[in-house]
């Protein structure tokens, strides 16, 4: 028997708003709430919700013969809870079937594994706790941000109790070896490695609707035919995809849902494969060989290295500055600071600063909320500058008011059927946000701060709106358009 290891990544970053240098030191609201809400709702409607429904149907139909696993980042969990809780509910339903495994990662989809072991561990633990809270599973499989891996990361993950790790089947690591086996880490034989079959995975992610491709269209039968061409002795095909591939990157009109809907039936009837999860596969198979990775690999681009996030002057300065204040952040021990520190670590911010596309003229092929890496860098550095001031000066409250309001409105506006499980979920968020709010609220009550706080909510906002009455329209209109993108990008990351 052979295995198909189908793993989906779910991630949506907190995109930054246009944050000018004159906001530094005055305005601590960094996120584009409108765009973030808009995108998460859209992706939920087009992708997550129908995909969850389909996966659930398939599990009900085929029982334990159909299994999948998910890696859901912290920012995705938070934003879904806030703006599309029905998606979380769907995941909980999937969790209750027993056919779904949730894997661990860094909480904020960060690159901490490359820079700070302490922060890396802190985020891994936080993510594990969150997954446990929501889905009642404690992950034993680790899937680092963007499948980034080297021996050291493997060691740390093993220290944290992970027994299986998912990474890229990078050619320069494997050499003549096939990704279709279970491997183990050379410096820690207990840690099992499952390597993405990027050819078959990318056939779906990137080429599914590409009419210029000689193999278009991929039917389920054709795909299973390819699976059957895998040599007999090879044991597992690892298909790691973005969840948004279903319905958002590949629109439903491309037939992506029909493809997946037919997949289990065809696989089970016409191939020796069974669907399974990383945990089960690593228990059932014998690892065949050790793998050594000195320099980090990832699933991005042709290079399968870190150059999509780090390496140019912009990325390196931003990354260095961000982790330069780690100590101060930890010492500050303020929830608002910690929250922003996590969100600013998301790998997406560094991805936007990538200049690699310049060389091959594919600037526009890869979507990005910023027109160029330079704008991405300037905006990020403005935010980071303000954040650094806050970290260094105790008592500067976070710009909480604005980010919370739309949420509150939304909840009253759109009552959804709340199951018992969901109320529990809601309670935990409420508790969380009220935790965060407290220090800011407390501060406002002191007499001196009150007028300042009041000013901020009204006076600061108004002038910007009033100053360019005619111009104001353009940027917002533009923003709305670009709203469609960032997550199209987040899926196009790998090539």
Partner 1 sequence: MRVLMFGWEFPPHITGGLGTACFGLTKGLVKLGTEVIFVVPKAYGDESPEGFRLVSASDITLDILDHAQQEFWNKIKYMEIGSNLIPYLGEEEFEKLVEEEELQKTETTSSVFSKRFSFSGKYGKNLMQEVSRYALVASSIASKLEYDLIHAHDWLTYPAGIAAKHISGKPLIIHVHATEFDRSGEHVNQTVYDIERSGMEAADEVITVSNLTRQIVIEKYGIDPSKVYTVHNAVEPADRPELEGIQKHVKEKVVTFLGRVTYQKGPDYFVEAAHKVLKRDRNVRFVMAGSGDLLNRMVRRIAKLKMGTRFHFTGFLTGAEVDTMFAMSDVYVMPSVSEPFGISPLEAMRSNVPVVISKQSGVSEVLRHAIKIDFWDIDAMADAIYGILHYKGLQKMFAHYGKGEVDNLKWENASFNVLGVYKVALARRQ
Of the pair 258, 362, the CB lying nearest partner 1 is at: 362
Under the criterion CB under 8 A, does residue 313 sit at the interface with partner 1?
yes
Residue with the two structure tokens 């160029």: 372
Question: C-beta of 491: minimal distance to partner 1 in Å?
Answer: 24
Candidates 110-118, 162-170, 221-229, 378-386; binding stretch for partner 1 (CB under 8 A)? 378-386
Question: C-beta of 329: minimal distance to partner 1 in Å?
Answer: 20
Q: What angle do CA 315, 321, 322 make, to 5 degrees?
A: 90
Of the pair 269, 466, the CB lying nearest partner 1 is at: 466
Residue with the two structure tokens 């995109």: 15
List phi, psi (to 5°) of 251: -65, 160
Question: C-beta of 33: minimal distance to partner 1 in Å?
Answer: 19
Q: Which of 101, 119, 146, 400 is catalytic?
A: 146
Residue 164: closest CA among 178, 144, 179, 145: 144
Q: Which of 225, 371, 394, 451 binds partner 1 (CB under 8 A)?
A: 371
Could you count the other beta carbons within 10 Å of the beta carbon of residue 389?
14
Of the pair 111, 239, the CB lying nearest partner 1 is at: 111
Under the criterion CB under 8 A, does residue 72 sit at the interface with partner 1?
no
Q: Which of 431, 474, 476, 480 binds partner 1 (CB under 8 A)?
A: 474
> What is the C-alpha separation between 14 and 322, in angstroms, rounded?
16
CA distances, 238 to each of 8, 134, 195, 248 (Å): 11, 26, 6, 22
Interstrand relation of 164-168 and 188-196 (parallel, antiparallel or unpaired): parallel
Under the criterion CB under 8 A, does residue 372 sit at the interface with partner 1?
yes
Site for partner 1 in 12-31 (CB under 8 A): 20-22, 24
> What is the C-alpha separation between 172 and 170, in angstroms, rounded?
6
Under the criterion CB under 8 A, does residue 137 sit at the interface with partner 1?
no
Binding mask 416-455 for partner 1 (x = CB under 8 A): ----------------------------------------
Q: Which of 155, 378, 401, 488 binds partner 1 (CB under 8 A)?
A: 378
Interstrand relation of 188-196 and 182-185 (parallel, antiparallel or unpaired): antiparallel
Under the criterion CB under 8 A, does residue 316 sit at the interface with partner 1?
yes
Sign of CA dihedral 415, 419, 424, 425: negative
Under the criterion CB under 8 A, does residue 471 sit at the interface with partner 1?
yes
Rg (CA), the chain: 23
> What is the C-alpha separation between 253 and 246, in angstroms, rounded?
11
Residue 304: closest CA among 406, 196, 164: 196
Under the criterion CB under 8 A, does residue 312 sit at the interface with partner 1?
yes
In 151-307, where does DSSP find H-type helix? 151-159, 171-174, 198-205, 220-229, 256-270, 278-284
Candidates 218-226, 423-431, 444-452, 471-479; binding stretch for partner 1 (CB under 8 A)? 471-479
Kindly state the tokens that stand for 219: 């039917």
Q: Catalytic annotation on 146? A: yes
The count of chain residues that interact with partner 1, using the rule CB under 8 A, is 27
Q: Which of 70, 142, 377, 387 binds partner 1 (CB under 8 A)?
A: 377
The residues annotated with a catalytic role in the active site are 146
Using CB under 8 A as the criterion, which residues of the chain lie in contact with partner 1 when the complex forms? 20-22, 24, 312-318, 355, 358, 363, 371-372, 374-375, 377-379, 381-382, 385, 471, 474-475
């Amino acid at each position: 028997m052979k295995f198909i290891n189908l793993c989906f990544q779910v991630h949506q970053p907190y995109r930054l708003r246009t944050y000018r240098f004159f906001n530094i030191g005055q305005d601590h609201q960094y996120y584009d709430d409108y765009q973030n809400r808009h995108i998460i709702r859209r992706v939920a409607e087009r992708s997550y919700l129908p995909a969850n429904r389909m996966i659930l149907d398939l599990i009900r139909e085929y029982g334990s013969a159909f299994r999948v696993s998910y890696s859901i980042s912290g920012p995705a969990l938070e934003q879904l809870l806030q703006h599309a809780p029905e998606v979380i509910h769907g995941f909980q339903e999937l969790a209750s079937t027993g056919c779904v495994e949730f894997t661990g990662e860094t909480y904020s989809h960060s690159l901490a594994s490359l820079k700070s072991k302490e922060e890396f561990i802190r985020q891994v633990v936080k993510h594990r706790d969150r997954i446990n809270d929501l889905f009642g599973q404690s992950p034993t499989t680790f899937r680092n941000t963007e499948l980034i891996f080297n021996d050291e990361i493997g060691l740390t993950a093993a220290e944290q109790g992970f027994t299986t790790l998912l990474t890229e089947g990078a050619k320069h690591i494997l050499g003549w070896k096939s990704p279709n086996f279970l491997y183990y880490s050379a410096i820690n034989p207990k840690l099992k490695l499952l390597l993405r079959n990027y050819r078959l995975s990318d056939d779906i992610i990137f080429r599914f609707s590409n009419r210029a491709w000689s193999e278009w269209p991929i039917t389920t039968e054709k795909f299973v035919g390819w699976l059957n061409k895998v040599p007999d002795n090879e044991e597992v095909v690892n298909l790691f995809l973005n969840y948004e591939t279903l319905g958002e990157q590949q629109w439903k009109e491309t037939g992506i849902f029909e493809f997946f809907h037919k997949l289990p039936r065809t696989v089970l009837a016409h191939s020796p494969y069974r669907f399974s999860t990383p945990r089960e596969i690593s228990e059932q198979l014998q690892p065949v060989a050790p793998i050594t990775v000195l320099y980090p690999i990832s699933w991005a681009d042709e290079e399968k290295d870190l150059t999509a996030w780090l390496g140019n002057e912009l990325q390196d300065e931003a990354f260095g500055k961000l982790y330069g204040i780690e100590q101060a952040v930890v010492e500050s021990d303020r929830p608002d600071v910690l929250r922003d520190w996590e969100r600013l670590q998301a790998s997406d911010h560094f991805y936007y600063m990538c200049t690699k596309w310049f060389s091959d003229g594919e600037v526009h092929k890869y979507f990005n909320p910023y027109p160029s890496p330079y704008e991405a860098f300037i905006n990020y550095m403005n935010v980071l500058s303000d954040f650094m001031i806050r970290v260094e000066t105790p008592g500067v409250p976070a710009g909480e008011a604005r980010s919370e309001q739309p949420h509150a409105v939304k909840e009253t506006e759109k009552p959804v059927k709340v199951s018992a499980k969901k109320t529990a979920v809601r309670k935990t968020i409420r508790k969380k946000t009220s935790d965060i709010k407290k220090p800011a609220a407390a501060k406002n009550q002191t007499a001196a701060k009150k007028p300042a706080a009041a000013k901020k909510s009204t006076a600061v906002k108004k002038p910007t709106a009033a100053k360019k009455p005619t111009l104001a329209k353009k940027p917002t209109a533009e923003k709305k358009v670009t709203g469609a993108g960032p997550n199209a990008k987040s899926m196009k990351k790998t090539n």
